[in-house]
Amino acid sequence: MTVADTVAENPTAQAEAPKQPTAPAPEPPPPANPNRKFIVIGVILLLVLGGLFFYWRSTFIEDTDDASVDGNLYQVSSRIVGHVVKVYVDDNQTVQAGQLLAETDPTDYQVALDQAEADLANTQAQYTQASTNVPITQVNVGTTVRTSGSDVKGSADQVAVAQKQVEAANAQVDQAKANAVKAQLDVDRYTPLVQKDVISKQQYDAAVATAAASKAAVVQAESDVLAQQNAVEAAQQKLVEAQEQSQQSVKNAPGQIKVEQSRATAAAAAVKEAQAKVDQARLNLSYTHITAPIAGIVNKKNVQVGANLSAGQDLMTIIPLTDLWVTANFKETQLAHMHPCLAVTVKVDAYGGRTFSGRLTQIGGATGSMLSLFPPENATGNYVKVVQRIPVRIDFTNLSKEDGDYILRPGLSVTPEVHVKDPNVPNCNPQNPTPTAPVQ
């Protein structure tokens, strides 16, 4: 039996039965918003534009936050041993190229320079003497050769004269012998006559004396012949000696000249050596003035007055403010359209994201992991593929104007944006000799 049947049979129960709650009346529908359609369309349009922007950015620009300003840090060191007498700079001081940074005691090096200059003057004097002896030796040698030739001719003439004198002596011998024969014949004729007293004893004695004198004349003439023959031999010996001396003079003349020329050459080399020592001593003296190799800011100064320096000892570091570039480590997946000469916009994290213009000049030859202290060993069996990064060099194209206040410092973090679809930077001269063609 239902509740309705019970109520119908028992009116009292109907009065006592609880009243059922009535359903609320439905609310009227809100009025339609006429701008809702435009809002939805606007949101969709913004989403589409945002998607297009990110697509355009990923297509036309490659960027990375793994980049920083880079530059050459110049270590200033002492090139000689010395005692510091003056220091002219402090840490974080701006210096110009060639500016004097410190001085060492120049006394020892000044003394060494004076000694080297004295040695140079001595060697120059020796060279002057040696070079002067060369023409003198040439003249003397020429004179000796000519004199020896004249001696040969004179000795030959003396031999000829001696030979003529031998011939004359032989003729005198013949004459003396003829006179001796005649005198002996006279004696032979006078002997019977004197015995018969046909001639006087005086005539006979005169004939005998004449014969004896003729015999003595023969002996004298023969002696003269021997003497003249000896003279011929002596003259011939002198001729041989003169010929040998002449040949020796002619043979030794070039050698004597070369000896003097060699002495002059050695003296010239000694002058060059002495001059080199003077130049080195002058350089060492100049090294007592330690100057800045480039304009920049001084850092890590560790030299004071009174310090004793050794050659090669680091004194300070100079950080340049103009010779700067950016080293960016791009992922290997970002290099598809990169090549030298692409335009780059560099945003510096410091100074409110200030931007600078640049160009891509180099793409590294290896990944950073390969150039690390412990390169990867992928053949060990536990290989996990990791996206590698390649160092890329970006040079500033207008640093003198964009960084006129010198705010850039090596090590500052930057975000380079490489315009991979933009035209190349005008007048670009990439540092890669054979740049790789962009991958299409």
384-433 pLDDT, tens digit each? 788 889 999 999 998 889 888 888 999 999 999 998 877 665 566 666 54
The enclosing H or E element of 214 equals helix 201-286
Residue 53 scores a pLDDT above 80 = no
Residue 278 in domain: yes
Q: By the 8 A CB rule, do 422 and 344 touch?
A: no
93 and 125 both lie in a single domain: no
Say which CATH number the domain at 245 has: 1.10.287
Residue 166 in domain: yes
380 and 280 both lie in a single domain: no
* CA atoms within a 13 Å half-sphere pointing along the CA-CB vector of 287: 21
144 and 224 both lie in a single domain: yes
Q: Which domain holds residue 99?
A: 75-106+288-315
210 and 340 both lie in a single domain: no
| Calpha distance 274→282 (Å, rounded) | 12
303 and 362 both lie in a single domain: no
Angle at 73 (CA atoms; ends 68, 77), nearest 5 degrees: 165
Nearest to 305 by CA among 17, 87, 107, 7: 87
pLDDT at 1: 42
Residue 142 in domain: yes
235 and 340 both lie in a single domain: no
Q: Compute the CA torsion angle 198, 201, 203, 207 (nearest 10 deg).
A: 110
* CA atoms within a 13 Å half-sphere pointing along the CA-CB vector of 288: 18
Residue 53 in domain: no
Residue 94 in domain: yes
328 and 234 both lie in a single domain: no
Residue 202 in domain: yes
Burial of 84 (0-12, 13-18, 19+ CB in 10 A): buried
Confidence of residue 8 (pLDDT cuts 50, 70, 90): very low
Residue 128 in domain: yes
Count the domains in the chain.
Answer: 3
Residue 122 scores a pLDDT above 60 = yes
User: Structure pTM?
Assistant: 0.59
Q: Where are the alpha helices (DSSP H) in 106-200?
A: 107-195
User: Strands, DSSP E only, in 26-79?
Assistant: 61-63, 67-71, 74-77
pLDDT tens for each residue of 209-261: 877 777 787 777 777 778 777 877 777 777 777 777 777 777 767 777 788 88
258 and 389 both lie in a single domain: no
Say which CATH number the domain at 309 has: 2.40.50.100
